[in-house]
Chain A
Amino acid sequence: MTEANKFVDIRHAQKSYGELEVLKDISLSVDRGEIVAIIGPSGSGKSTLLRAINDLDPLTGGEVWLDGVQINKDLPYRQYEKHINAMRQQVGMVFQHFNLFPHLSVRDNVTMAPKMLKGISDAEANALAEEQLKHVGMLERIDYFPSQLSGGQKQRVAIARALAMKPKLMLFDEATSALDPELVEEVNLVMKRLAEEHMTMIIVTHEMDFAASVCDRVIFMDKGVVVEEGPPSVVFQNPTEERTREFLRKHLSQYAEGAK
């Protein structure tokens, strides 16, 4: 049984590496079109949670549902592979280190998966690449190779690559953390644009500014649990939990200065 309004539904997510319990019974849901930021100290389990959503890091307990379908179904290997590949086509992911395919041109980075998985023609693939690259302002670089791009450009191509699969949900794991400060904004702008288009997004970030200005909801995690969640105005300005306040004291100094 699923409730229709829960677009992404994480139920009692639990993850252990041996003795170490990294996610401790986390339940949360995300509505269609909602933009959620996950913040928290290093090692709190943000990446693990995000990567559990598309089963890159399988949970040791609990369920993840997307749009009424369970992602981490318990199936025999072959069936599971088929199922998870189909699910992953619906979930775009953007990594801290871009992970563009260095042996493929920008165009081929964007079109490889749609060509292989959706059987589109070369002409359709080209149109798709142009559309997606235009969207992230990278059309002029369509015939470049990843090594010929700046970090910000690489990340924009990586976003276009994910979007080319027409995902229902986008996951971002510190998409701007590896970038030089002056390149962060161009990636943030692309993400803001996606937000305006009501793409459902879950964004792990260390950038409180960005979380505050773009996200509908902020989730603060620490030591494998969700400590506090709410609209950015509440979590950032009036956190109820002491752990949140402590974290924000460390991380908002920069934010507060910026806001002055």
Chain B
Amino acid sequence: MDFELILRVYPYFLEAAVVTIELSVLTILLGLACGALGAAARLSRFALLRFLGAAYVSVFRGTPALIQLFILYFGGPQIGIQLDAFEAGVIGLGVNIGAYMTETMRGAIVSVDHGQTEAARTLGLSRAQAFRKVTLPQAMRLMIRPLGVNINAQIKGTALVAAISVVELTYTAQRYIGSTYKPFEMFFIAGILYMIIITVTGKGIAFLDRKARLP
């Protein structure tokens, strides 16, 4: 292991890690938004919305994220969508993880005991009020951990944008191999930095989960 080389290049990897973090944060936020919309559609009382929600989930979970990314980035211009690589990465991966988050959120919502809704409705709350005050707060607690799993997958999934040349960790590692011929060291640094990001995030999620736990 060439530690001298590692010390020389790691500042560039730190910069790249910042891009990975930005990508992660943005894709996760977009994913959460898509997930919330998707779950709302999947649970709607309108059949058309339910169908659209289900179609969203099966399309985006049923094809490789990389293909989705390529369609958006390389195929986009053909249908008038011009995005730079970073934008395409955020939108492509965000919408993709949103499909997984849709199922996570829907799963948490339907696993809240139906008796809870009944009790709320019996008191005179509307459907929306019962959802907001009774079902959702319980579902949110249930979805923290499984969303953590989605988030973990998504942080690692940001590596895919290396394929469309976004200068993040994986791309940076590949680039430095070209000049250093030291793939072990380069991927090792990238791996360590991914692990730090994921460990810190995991701890954050575990903390949220503990904080949200009921007495």
Contact = CB atoms under 8 A, between A and B. Distances in A.
A binds B: yes
Interface of A: 54, 56, 81, 85-86, 88-89, 91-93, 95, 97, 99-103, 112-113, 116-117, 145, 147-148, 158, 161-162, 165
B123 A99 contact: no
B45 to A, nearest CB: 9
Interface residues of B, number: 21
Given A85-B124, A97-B115, A113-B123, 9 more contacts: A56-B118, A85-B125, A86-B124, A88-B123, A92-B122, A102-B214, A117-B124, A161-B123, A162-B123
Contacts, number: 64
B149 interface: no
B175 interface: no
B116 interface: yes
Contacts of A100: 119
Given A101-B116, A148-B215, A112 B124 contact: no
A111 to B, nearest CB: 11
A247 B24 CA distance: 65
B125 A113 contact: yes
A116 B121 CA distance: 12
Given A81-B126, A81-B127, A145 B215 contact: yes
21 contacts: A56-B121, A81-B126, A85-B121, A85-B124, A85-B125, A88-B122, A89-B123, A92-B122, A99-B115, A101-B116, A101-B120, A101-B134, A103-B214, A112-B123, A113-B120, A113-B124, A116-B125, A116-B129, A117-B123, A145-B215, A161-B123
Contacts of A162: 122-123
Interface string B201-215: 000000000000011
B137 interface: yes
A95 B118 CA distance: 10
B133 A99 contact: no
B113 interface: yes
Interface in B113-159: 113, 115-116, 118-127, 129, 133-134, 137-138, 141
A95 B115 contact: yes
A93 B122 contact: yes
B124 A89 contact: yes
B127 A54 contact: no
A91 B116 CA distance: 17
A117 B138 contact: no
A99 B116 contact: yes
B141 to A, nearest CB: 7
B206 to A, nearest CB: 20
Contacts of A81: 126-127
Contacts of B115: 95, 97, 99
Nearest to A91: B122
Given A95-B118, A148-B215, A85 B137 contact: no
A103 B174 CA distance: 49
B138 A54 contact: no
Interface string B90-115: 00000000000000000000000101
A116 B133 contact: yes
Contacts of A54: 122
Contact of A99 (B118, B125, B137, B214): B118
Contacts of B118: 56, 95, 99
Contacts of A116: 125, 129, 133
Contact of A103 (B119, B122, B138): B138
Nearest to B136: A103
A36 to B, nearest CB: 19
Contacts of A148: 215
Nearest to B215: A145
Contacts of B214: 102-103, 145, 147
A103 B212 CA distance: 10
Interface in B165-201: none
B181 to A, nearest CB: 58
Nearest to A56: B118
Nearest to B132: A116
Contacts of A99: 113, 115-116, 118-119
Nearest to A87: B124
Contact of B123 (A97, A102, A165): A165
Nearest to A103: B137
